[in-house]
Chain A
Amino acid sequence: MTGVDMLAVLISTTLILMMYTILYRENPAFRLGEHIMVGSTVGHAVVLAVFQVRDLAWKKVQSGLATGDIGGIAYVIPMILGILLYFQFSRKYRHISRISLALMLGVGIALSIRGLLFVNVIGQIKGACKPLTSIENVVYMVGVVCVLLYFVYERRASKVAGPLPKIGRYLLMLTMGSYFANSIMGRVSIVIGTLNNLLTVPAFYLIPVALLIVIADALTRRRKAAEP
């Protein structure tokens, strides 16, 4: 490990430990770590965004101007539309930014609608209609029907359906449970990933240092609280 690598590990470990101090209590070290994280993420995103504008638009405009290619010069239009978005910050001219927003929304919806229909409607209906050749498929089909019936709010239809909507409700609750359990598993995975970095040398040596600082703070606070 080179000196630079070691320094990087120590800095990242210090920041991780600063963030974890929130488990003890709200404190300036946590807030500093939080601000550093937000600042560095935004800084990195801004730099990448500038590069994107340069590579995807500015260079094409430049080459368009040099060669007289109208297609290249046309890239100036999205650049202007991008600038218009900043009128959002002006109370007087805010409406101008809506031109760009409307265009973005229109393009976004137009792009996604063709795929969404095929994937989320037609594909899902086709996927749900399985041949009832196995217990798994039967359970799947019954589940689909019950859950759909749960969302039928017409009283007479609900009466005909009998207990099926209730079964649908239980199936939905099972699904929510699965979401929640997966969420917990995900959070544990995050802690595992972080601790795996912390529990390697030289990062490991910073843990007792952090613990000592926390204990010292706890003792100081207790002493202060005991003072009249």
Chain B
Amino acid sequence: MNPRALGAWSFAALTVALATSNPIYRALVLLCALDVLVVFRRRGTHIRGLLLAVAIAGVVALAITVLFSHTGTHVLVRVPDAIPALGGPITVEAVVFGATTALGIAAAIIAGAALSIVVEPHELIDALPGVLARSGAALGTALNLIPGVGRSAVEIRDAQRMRGWRPARVRDWPDIAVPVVLTAIESSMTLAESMEARGYGSTARTHFSVSTWRPADTVVTGCALAAAGIFVALRVIGVVGDWYPFPTVTVPPVNVLAACCCFALAAPLFAWRR
């Protein structure tokens, strides 16, 4: 798959997820995005952490909505009014609205995260348009340094501990932080020097990696962009609208064409080889 096609797909999924507060569409986008993520994630990447983060973000969004919005007709329980801000009725409507918010957040995170989980960050950087190529090289180099900084932080902490360092006060932490930062700066300087020595900064730059664009990439990009375009158009003309469960929860309306747009985001599952 081409990173640019994936970028287009990710952009389209984000657009649809954020274009409406209707939970049906959001759930469909989440479903497609999750599918793409699970099927196409790079070998060796773990998505447990990501899913956990999404779950936490969802629960937090749900809790905030439930605890602070006291509108809606069907009251589940009452929090005593004596408790400031939280006091008041907790309603079915607020729970539904909280869940809707959580769905939107989850769909948006998954659609965005697919970028870094399906392709290497470096492939993405390479896919940047030509004018950004130099910043891209710098960014890629910075990415290369990150694991080294983590390793050196552990090494330095161990070394100082063996020299008798014991963190008792905040004032003790610079004994670790200072050498970690200094070492990182020195590493960056060395790397900068070696890049300079290899001619970095010349004006007439050519490119080594040309990612191939296959018909499947056209299909994915076409489906995704068409889906997003049509969905936004439906939103603008009012066929798709925002949906709120207040004052009384109702079944969200579904437009067939808009639902098809959401399903079209599953195009990578059919077009790209697994």
Partners in one complex: no
Q: Which residues of A contact B (CB under 8 A)?
A: none
